[in-house]
Amino acid sequence: MPRFSANLGFLFADRPHGERIAAAAVAGFPAVEMHWPYEVPAATLRTALDRAGVRMLGINTPVGDRARGDNGLAAVPGREAEFAAAFDLALSYAVALGGTAVHCMAGVVPPDRRDAAERTYVANLTAAADKAAAAGKTILIEPLNPRDAPGYFLADVDQAAAIVQATGRANVKIMFDCYHVQIVGGDVIRRFECVRPLVGHVQIAAVPSRAEPDEGELAYPAILAAFEAAGWDGFVGAEYKPRGRTEDGLGWMAAYPAAEAVAVATGDAR
């Protein structure tokens, strides 16, 4: 049965990071993941994780300068030094928090610079992967759909697979977010099966709403059963935007036998 991690960028987001960790533990999540925890000292977060008894999985590299339209830096030509600094910060947090992976956000690239961006991306990821390997960590790259992330360099699973292979590094993997994959091309199960050896993490959310994964186009009980049949035994990240209070929407977990006790414990079984 799936093991779910709570993505604290979206879940329990009405409270400080330390309280989000505690809330995820109370809800029964054995692991958490974060977007950008950098405003909180790593030691503070580590204390919260230890007290809650949950594992940290992945965090994202800093996006850069939002005012400039940045959404990551790894594939942006001419900003290699900024990416290296951003990655070093993310890796230091991953190490301090006992995390497993760093998601290297690619960034926004104009169409006429895509060839240069690919070369930059591969070079940056290769260097980052070598640093991460020395620390026992994985590098993740995630295709983002152009509706939510216009101009983002990495939008397609096949493109992600080609980038991973171009790095030649075994610790560079795909973050397979079913929400983004469905919007870009659909055929989620088949696409997962085609890239399964390259997948390092899985995430879920409803399509098109990005709410709890119990509505919309995707039948997640069937999808996750197919992923398990294909050999996936890692965590599945709950990276959705709750329709309301996070605790009030956890009934979706009752569709999975291993998670049913969590839904009952939080009083949200349906």
Listing from the earlier edge strand, what are the strands of the sheet with 31-33? 55-56, 31-33, 3-7, 235-238, 199-204, 172-177, 138-141, 101-103, 58-60
Instruction: Dig out the tokens for 32 from the structure.
Output: 């958490």
C-alpha span between 200 and 157 (Å, rounded): 13
Q: Which two tokens stand for residue 2?
A: 């799936």
Rounded alpha-carbon distances, angstroms, from residue 257 to 141, 198, 227, 262? 30, 28, 16, 10
**Catalytic annotation present for 39:** no
Task: Compute the distance between CA of residue 201 and CA of residue 173 in angstroms, rounded to an integer.
Answer: 8
CA distances from 84 to 40, 61, 72, 114, 221 (A): 21, 10, 12, 20, 39
Tell me the two tokens of residue 222.
Answer: 């069937």
Q: Establish whether 260 is a catalytic residue.
A: no
Find the catalytic residue in 217, 239, 247, 260. Answer: 239
By CB atoms closer than 10 A (0-12, 13-18, 19+), residue 64 is: buried
- Of the candidates 33, 118, 142, 212, the residue annotated as catalytic is 142
Burial class of 195 by CB neighbour count within 10 A (0 to 12, 13 to 18, 19+): middle
CA–CA separation, 74 and 62 (whole Å) = 10
Active site residues: 142, 239
